[in-house]
A and B are shown apart, each in its own frame.
Chain A
Amino acid sequence: AQSVTQLDSQVPVFEEAPVELRCNYSSSVSVYLFWYVQYPNQGLQLLLKYLSGSTLVESINGFEAEFNKSQTSFHLRKPSVHISDTAEYFCAVSKSGGSNYKLTFGKGTLLTVNP
């Protein structure tokens, strides 16, 4: 079975500051990794994902995450945040390959960007 740990439940930062949201996972098999974002009163939206290939993946709005197999981590980073990035961020993992479907989510990190 897989598990996901998001080490910080809340991260407050000032606008234009860099941010890192930490995610560690546990699995005995190869995995796919995801970051989802949930804005207030909305559903979860995929931010970025790692399936294979380059360990550094990027989103269209400036976030990036790096898959580190040795440290079993998939931390999310942004060099300069905006007020509009305020949201809850969920890290998730699934077994790779075949018809494996089940996403296991972390408890989420609430990112609050202050002016």
Chain B
Amino acid sequence: DAMVIQNPRYQVTQFGKPVTLSCSQTLNHNVMYWYQQKSSQAPKLLFHYYDKDFNNEADTPDNFQSRRPNTSFCFLDIRSPGLGDAAMYLCATSRRQGGDEQFFGPGTRLTVL
């Protein structure tokens, strides 16, 4: 089945230790998104790629970076995780922008010690 895969499902890192979260898709969608979801809060868009074009949300901290080496893969890099970065990170894809359904992966839960 075509899907959005996130690895790992659970990630534990230490304060200040860089961490990379991975997302892959078999849907061949043009757009890939990263959301941060903290407990009891709405998912918050961090950035998205339309093909290779990177779009950063204005309020996304500089500590968060992303890479999309090809259509299928997208990575979220947190350069120096703080305790406040502990959250669920959701990857999503869509065929195009504007009204299209977004398909979500199961998420990676990040714990910062």
Q: Which residues of A contact B (CB under 8 A)?
A: 4, 9, 32, 36, 41-46, 49, 51, 90, 94, 96-108
How far apart are the CA atoms of A36 and B37 in the complex, in Å?
14
Within the complex, what minimum Cβ distance (angstroms) separates B107 from chain A? 6
User: Given A43-B4, A90-B43, are A103 and B101 neighbors across the interface (CB < 8 Å)?
Assistant: no
A-B pairs, 5 with minimum CB distance = A43-B104, A101-B97, A105-B42, A44-B104, A99-B97
- Tell which of B44, B98, B107 touches A100, judged by Cβ atoms closer than 8 Å: B98
B40 touches A107 (CB 8 A): yes
- Shortest CB-to-CB span from B87 to chain A, Å, is 14
Contacts of B56-113 to chain A: CB distance below 8 A: 57, 90, 92, 94, 96-99, 101-107
Q: A101 contacts B43, CB within 8 Å?
A: no
Q: How far is the CB of A45 from chain B (nearest CB, A)?
A: 7
Interface of A, secondary structure class, is: loop
In the complex, which range does the number of interface residues on chain B fall in?
A: 20 to 34
Please determine whether B42 and A46 come into contact, CB atoms closer than 8 angstroms.
Answer: no
Report whether B42 and A98 are in contact in the complex, using a CB–CB cutoff of 8 Å.
no
Q: Which residue of B lies closest to A108 (CB)?
A: B42
Question: What total count of A-B pairs have CB within 8 Å?
Answer: 63
Instruction: Tell whether, in the assembled complex, residue A41 and residue B106 are in contact, meaning their CB atoms are under 8 Å apart.
Output: yes
Complexed CA–CA distance, A49 and B9 (Å): 28
B contacts, CB < 8 Å to A: 4, 6, 31, 33, 40-45, 48, 50, 57, 90, 92, 94, 96-99, 101-107
Taking a contact as CB atoms under 8 Å apart, the answer to whether B97 and A100 are in contact is yes
A96 to B98, CA, bound (A): 7
Min CB distance B44 to A, Å, is 8
Q: Which of B33, B45, B101, B105 contacts A49 (CB 8 A)?
A: B101
B48 contacts across to A, CB distance below 8 A: 101
Residue of B nearest to A99 (CB): B97
Known contacts A99-B97, A101-B48: A46-B102 contact under CB 8 Å: yes
**Known contacts A101-B31, A107-B40: does B99 contact A94 (CB below 8 Å)?**
yes
> What distance in Å separates the Cβ of B34 from its nearest Cβ neighbour in chain A?
13
A residues within 8 A CB of B106? Answer: 41-43
